A = this chain, B = another copy of it.
């Protein structure tokens, strides 16, 4: 039978800026972005802010109001700046998405307007999702405030919320129109969040970028001691690698290409087994350690290289053993492999290391070898004094 073939491409483009003190009246970066696309149409700005960020930066809302009044006279600030709770647990609450969608409706935020999300990855995921489904897509701008969101999730193209307890069950692939990475927000992170965000940088360095791994290794002590310029470099380089991976691959994951998920099969499971007391980056650090040891056990990675990885993670302050790893003879954590297979749609794909900076995909993991890696991980973990 005859048919018509539809074919088209859609181009996506967005800048990722690196700055500090974004809403300081002397910093015109944010204003310049909006003013560059001047329009005869009145456009609105709806801000949605992580309530934890406002606690750490109590002047933020006033600063935004003053900044928009002074520098963005052509835009209408929605007077009601929304504050929503952050953190992974917040993503289980459909209320936040509904709150944002309702504000878009109530304040007439149309397809020429902008929703600006300020916060950690969870808040940005929810803001991006609410913007993506309202009016078939309102432009959204991200201001990530954590290491993890500035170097990884916040510069990418995904959004989502949990649904019936399933992580990111609802979501879309929709890029932001701009990302503003403001390092001032990093100064008020607690130590756990400062540290946890670095796990994704180590991950991407290990599978893609040996010189970056060497840099991390050389700067581990500075990073552990909260050296801000070192962290700015880490974020810039990690974000760059993440952006290139997206652009060079299959941005909306329409084929079988997979995201950069070294160390993630056990990490996802450990987060869940600890009721998310373990933060994502903390779980990823353990997952990296486990799959690094596994790679060494296979003889693919030298023991000295594996030791370097573990030493780096420990210098940065990560705890690499968690009791859930060997609870129930590790049967619980090994369920993570089956779930990861299901998540990937039936075929398991796991990244392992053949050298520092080189990842390779495999399609099976041996349960017994995973157990041995867990034993080794536990044995090498420094005991509390």
Residues of A within 8 A of B (CB): 1-19, 29, 40-42, 101-102, 105, 108, 110-113, 132-137, 155, 158, 160, 163-164, 166, 168-175, 236, 239-240, 243, 246-247, 251-254, 342-343, 345-347
Contact = CB atoms under 8 A, between A and B. Distances in A.
Contacts of A113: 345
A169 B108 CA distance: 11
Contacts of A170: 101, 133-134
Given A110-B345, A111-B345, A342-B110, A4 B135 contact: no
Given A105-B169, A133-B172, A170-B134, A29 B1 contact: yes
11 contacts: A1-B19, A1-B29, A4-B155, A6-B14, A6-B155, A8-B251, A40-B346, A133-B170, A136-B168, A136-B171, A137-B252
Contacts of A12: 6-10
B136 A172 contact: yes
A247 B3 CA distance: 16
A88 B50 CA distance: 37
A299 to B, nearest CB: 28
Contacts of A11: 7-9
Contacts of A158: 136
A41 B347 contact: yes
A44 B21 CA distance: 50
Nearest to A250: B10
A175 B240 contact: no
B173 A136 contact: yes
Contact of A239 (B4, B42, B163, B253): B4
Nearest to A1: B19
Given A42-B346, A345-B111, A246 B8 contact: yes
B5 A13 contact: yes
A345 B41 CA distance: 7
A178 to B, nearest CB: 9
Contact of A7 (B13, B172, B346): B13
Contacts of A347: 40-41
Contact of A132 (B2, B172, B236): B172
Contacts of A19: 1
A41 to B, nearest CB: 4
A69 B379 CA distance: 54
A7 B246 CA distance: 9
Nearest to A347: B41
A10 B101 CA distance: 27
